[in-house]
Amino acid sequence: MRFAFTEEQEELRSTVRKLLDRHGGPPIPDPGAPDAGFDPALWKQLGEIGAHALAIPEEHDGVGATLLETLIVVEELGRRLVNNPFLGSSVLSAQALLAAGNTEACERLLPGIASGEQVVSLAWAEADSPWSVSTFATSAELGAEGWRIDGRKTLVLDATRADVLLVVAMADGEASLFEVSPSTTATASTPLDLTRSIGEVHLSGTSAQLIGAAPLQRITDAAAAAVAAESIGAAQRWLHETVEYTKLRKQFGRPIGSFQAIKHRLADCYAAIESARSLSYAASWAVSTQDDQAGELASMAKSACCEAYSLIAAEGVQLHGGIGITWEHEAHLHLKRAHAAKHLFGTPQSHRASLPLRGTAD
């Protein structure tokens, strides 16, 4: 079976790319202000073209498309290393709410996500078991005044920007999803990747509203496919920028791109990204259609795409020579984004370990 995007999907990609290109490349962030790269005007414009609403049903003020269209937008955002809450709010939180199946919560929260007027963040990871899908130290108890949560969540995307937190906690022995007001519970962290906003959430007897059982496998698959798409977008653009630079930089009177050793390195990068891109598109399709192989393909894509991006990011720094290690150049942003992406929602090694063994003898 041959996979191809439809004319409408290609038009969506083109529209988002043109919008992002008008805003230019990633700003060099201030390490003391991790949110410095956030552009409220761009966030609003993404809402105006319906990007936030793509995978949200029409009855919740969405477009009624699929997660596949949303991941096309994610790929384009990755291409420009955009720092905004799209991944955490428009993708992960929206998918978590839809999968949890709580109609009342969907009616209350999804319209705000669809318009971009409300940012919802998913508080999932914990320090001792970052991306567990079974057990958590964070716990919830039902008392006379309702549910109360105690625990600490780490690596929460856009924690300090969020209007609502979706917190995964153990309730009666089951991983459950709760709605929590961030108020004073969220604090910003200074991440390795300064183009992504993360934080911690501290919960101590915090009032919460039960949404339902936490659909963590669905969230894991969507997260893996999304980071794969984001990494492919970033890797593709950075490889293009690197190739263009090797045509301009000269040594011994000729462009460095004309040297056979450089050609070999660039060819290796190209081969890595092309095979990883195929896996990314397969995973995006499988997760959006809830195919039986969605989990396997998402893990394969996350592993391959993040490792391909890491290769291209590192080679790009080397081939950009001296300017590749200066703060004012975007090379270091790609290196840090690639390294951080490998650890977000599970490492390549952990995703490969989750895959079933095939071809073994009886």
Tell me: the pLDDT tens digits for 186-222?
888 888 888 999 999 999 999 999 999 999 999 999 9
Beta bridge partners of 142: 147
pLDDT in tens, 89-142: 999 999 999 999 999 999 999 999 999 999 999 999 998 878 888 889 999 999
pLDDT in tens, 54-73: 999 999 999 999 999 999 99
pLDDT at 233: 97
In total, the chain counts a number of residues equal to 362
Position 362 pLDDT exceeds 50: no
pLDDT at 359: 47
- The Cα 43–Cα 90 span in angstroms is 11
CATH 1.20.140.10 residue window(s) in the chain: 217-353
pLDDT at 118: 95
Report the SS3 class of residue 93: helix
- Phi, psi angles (nearest 5°) of residue 314: -70, -45
For the chain, the farthest-separated pair of C-alpha atoms sits apart, in whole angstroms, at 79
Beta bridge partners of 171: 174
The pairs formed by 329-334 with CB atoms below 8 angstroms and a separation of 24 or more are 330/25, 330/26, 330/28, 330/81, 333/26, 333/28, 333/29, 333/81, 333/193, 333/194, 333/195, 334/81, 334/234, 334/238, 334/309
Question: Stretch 257-282: mean pLDDT, rounded?
Answer: 96
- The Cα 155–Cα 127 span in angstroms is 9
Question: Stretch 66-91: mean pLDDT, rounded?
Answer: 96
Position 2 pLDDT exceeds 50: yes
Sign of the alpha-carbon torsion through 108, 113, 115, 116: positive
CATH architecture of 122-214: Beta Barrel (2.40)
CATH 2.40.110.10 residue window(s) in the chain: 122-214
CATH fold group of domain 217-353 = Butyryl-CoA Dehydrogenase, subunit A; domain 3 (1.20.140)
Position 1 pLDDT exceeds 60: no
User: At 184, is the pLDDT very low, low, confident or very high (cuts 50, 70, 90)?
Assistant: low
CATH fold group of domain 7-118 = Butyryl-Coa Dehydrogenase, subunit A; domain 1 (1.10.540)
